A and B are shown apart, each in its own frame.
Chain A
Amino acid sequence: MSVVGPHGPFGNRRPLDSGESLRSSGPPPARKRFDSAAAKSSSIALVSSVVVFTVLAFIVVNAPGWPSVQQYFLNEHWFWYSLPKIVDAFGVNVRLFCTAEVLILVLGLLIAVMRSLPGPVFFPVRLIATIYADIFRALPSLLIIFILGFGIPGLGIAGVPTDPFLYAVVALTLVYSAYVSEVYRAGIESIHPSQEAAARSLGLNRFQSLRYVIVPQAVRRVIPPLLNDFIGLQKDTVLVSSIGVVEAFRESQIIEGAKFNSTPYMALALIFIVITIPLARFTDWLVARDRRRFAASAR
């Protein structure tokens, strides 16, 4: 207890150090000492990471099933065989999430605005929007994709399209708009009522206040969580393989079935990592930037 002190093992040593250096030779050595402390902590991080990952690799490689896992999941030959085919099929996923995302951003905002309309006249509108958001957040995405993708064409009504891609877009749009509408709504509610008072006091009507004053500010605030939902959508595009859309996951299944090797799944995993991790980093960066801005404006 007395050795470690209240601030951890270095807590009782560091202030003394910097005090000494300030007295003896001014700020530059203090800065140098800080740099060396940073270097020290990063070298500790490096060593501990190397140790941990070496141990993990050792355990995996010496597992009894490792040779067959390597053969069936990490086979170099089948990796390079399947990668171009899967990248090609991934184009369908890209088309799917890009189309759906545009529709989601529009429908989600519409639902959010519907839920934000005040007054008793708009009660039915709020009710419809609330029921929509509740139901589509309650149901698993896969279930909705199944119900729409098989159910509606199954009705056999003349003129109803049968293209599974279309139902995939509709199903994902319905599911994600429910989530996205909640994100928008949180954004709308985070705008201080004085902004609406200012807009209304100038003679703008309720719709104009939303359109020009409230929503533009709300959307700026919710861009990071919207990007998060977008990442989720990208990953969920593989679910539509269940209704017969030949996208990257279905393509991997086809190759696996033909070649009796699961390496195509690893190729697909790699593609998702390459696509989504930069977006996730970008989202984190946006959040951090917004936090800094908030800190600056609240000074």
Chain B
Amino acid sequence: MNEQTVAADTVVAGSANAGVPAASTSPALEVAGLWKSFGDLQVLRGIDLTVAEHEVVCLIGSSGSGKSTLLRCINLLEPIDAGRIIVEGNEITAPGVNVNRIRRRIGIVFQSFNLFPHMSVLSNVTLAPRKALGMSKVQAAAEATALLERFGLADKRNEYPDRLSGGQQQRVAIVRALAMKPDLLLLDEITSALDPELVAEVLNVIRELGRGGMTMVIATHEMGFARDIASRVCFLDQGTILEQGSPSDIFSRPREARTQQFLQRIIEAGRL
């Protein structure tokens, strides 16, 4: 087992960066010159973004600035027009790449939960490990139960999604993504569809994941949360990353006029 791991590491290191361990040099995610349009509408116009391992990057910006599209592109749910996306040294946008294998390493959680309504909570969580990873039913159930317990959902394992609150549904969706043991987790405005009193339980889960060292890219309108959890905040405006920096830089000393304007509106709305 150990020998195999070592051998695999050597191959990766050898092919990517001779002599240097791959993990320490390759960022978890690298997006370079990403362009994406829907018909005539240019949504992303040259995005460059690098995310180091264990980093939590929050994407902020008004609706339509391209946050969700960027996340969907990283997960290859949207075909891109130009640019490159590199995950741990492997270019996933290269032709001939097996997109299913890529997606297994990148989890995404959606604004609208998108749980499978015809399956119990447990089946929602175990479906992908069983069918995409070939895990046995028993092992998948054991791992899923452990995850559900960790996030306070053990008693819901046999419920169907429509019997759960929005907050519980979203936590199940997070567990479902985590069950694939992703290297990178993308969160697409995961609290926007929740009643205000349910937001905290979901954000607490994300905080815990952040403490555990999960690499995450989070599109969010929750500025207080972004200031708390982010190692870096990126302000997206009209399809580009206009400004990025530490939370204190972005929220206390924004340089760009558009960023100041955006934050001013957020403060006026009482959300920061």
Contacts and interface: CB of A to CB of B under 8 A. Distances in A.
Contact of B132 (A195, A202, A217): A202
Interface in A180-238: 194-195, 197-205, 208, 212-213, 216-217, 220
Interface in B85-109: 100-101, 103-104, 106-108
B58 to A, nearest CB: 20
Given A204-B100, A213-B116, A198 B110 contact: yes
Contacts of B176: 202
A297 interface: yes
Interface residues of A, number: 18
B177 interface: yes
Nearest to A197: B77
A71 B112 CA distance: 68
Given A203-B132, A208-B131, A197 B100 contact: no
B132 A194 contact: no
Nearest to B102: A203
A209 to B, nearest CB: 10
Given A208-B132, A297-B162, A202 B127 contact: yes
B216 to A, nearest CB: 15
Interface string B99-141: 0110110111010101111100000000110011100000000
A205 B108 CA distance: 16
B26 interface: no
Contacts of A195: 114, 116
Contacts of A208: 131-132
A208 B132 CA distance: 8
Interface string A169-184: 0000000000000000
B100 A203 contact: yes
A208 B133 CA distance: 12
B190 interface: no
Given A198-B114, A217-B118, A297-B162, A204 B127 contact: yes
A119 to B, nearest CB: 11
Nearest to B177: A202
Contacts of A203: 100-101, 103-104, 128, 132-133, 180
A207 B117 CA distance: 19
A204 B132 contact: yes
A202 B103 contact: yes
Given A197-B77, A297-B162, A204 B128 contact: yes
A274 B133 CA distance: 51
B75 interface: yes
A201 B68 CA distance: 14
Given A202-B103, A204-B100, A220-B118, A194 B128 contact: no
Which of B104, B116, B177, B180 has most A Cβ within 10 Å? B116
A194 B112 contact: yes
B236 to A, nearest CB: 21
23 contacts: A195-B114, A195-B116, A197-B77, A198-B110, A198-B116, A199-B116, A201-B75, A202-B127, A202-B132, A202-B176, A202-B177, A202-B180, A203-B133, A203-B180, A204-B100, A204-B127, A204-B128, A204-B131, A204-B132, A212-B131, A213-B116, A216-B118, A217-B118
Given A197-B110, A205-B100, 9 more contacts: A195-B116, A197-B72, A201-B75, A201-B108, A202-B104, A203-B180, A204-B100, A213-B127, A217-B118
